[in-house]
Amino acid sequence: MTQFTIHNLKGTETLDYRKIKPLQGNLKDLRKVNYDKLKNSLLDNGFTFPGLVWKDPQGQCWALDMHQRLRVMNREDMNDNGSYEIPVVYIPARNKQEAKKKILLATSQYGTITQEGFDEFTADLPEFEYKDTNFDALAFGTSNEAASDTDSTPAPQPTITVKFDSIENLDAALDDIREVAEPAGGKVVVNG
């Protein structure tokens, strides 16, 4: 059993997270390194944002977001002084198919964080540590979003060189590097 803080917002309903079923299945993967970051974030910051939940006609509650938080909290048996009640917001859906569509809407990422924007946004947060977030510097500048809608010339892909002092460090990072590069159309080449 692991202690963490649950921040319940005024007027927000609560629900025992152990009763919420994941609806997205294997839509997303949670690598060990990100599992550890999320676990540390939950321990350091608590359960801060309400989860989005759909209640089916039989009364079963399904997660529309927070799947990774649920995975970590269930595996680590996280609670707040014996309480498993988390804040939730109920999202309506006519059926499971509509609820699944809403998962895709909730997980879609239309914008891209740029290095300049990130630096500007975090400039007044010098004490904030990013170790438990998933902002990977390798992701900055890998989007083709900057190209105009009428420009048929693909934007040049940036080249990023990363050197590791041991094969173990490379192996640990390689999956995360691919996770960032490949969806953006990048290639990962390992030179021995």
Domain 2-107 coded CATH 3.90.1530.10: yes
- The pLDDT tens digits of the residues spanning 111-128 come to 787 878 878 887 887 666
Looking at residue 153, its pLDDT comes to 47
Looking at residue 3, its pLDDT comes to 87
Looking at residue 171, its pLDDT comes to 62
Residue 42, judged by CB atoms within 10 A of its CB (0-12, 13-18, 19+), counts as: buried
pTM of the full structure: 0.65
Looking at residue 8, its pLDDT comes to 77
Could you tell me which of 119, 118, 66 has the C-alpha nearest to residue 88? 66
Residue 14, judged by CB atoms within 10 A of its CB (0-12, 13-18, 19+), counts as: middle
Q: Where are the domains of the chain?
A: 2-107, 138-192
Rounded CA-CA distance 192/188 in Å is 13
* In contact, 145 and 103? CB cutoff 8 Å: no
- The pLDDT tens digits of the residues spanning 138-167 come to 455 544 444 334 444 454 555 556 665 555
pLDDT along the chain (192 residues), means of 10: 83 94 89 92 92 97 95 95 94 95 84 80 71 55 43 51 60 64 63 56
What amino acid occupies position 116?
E
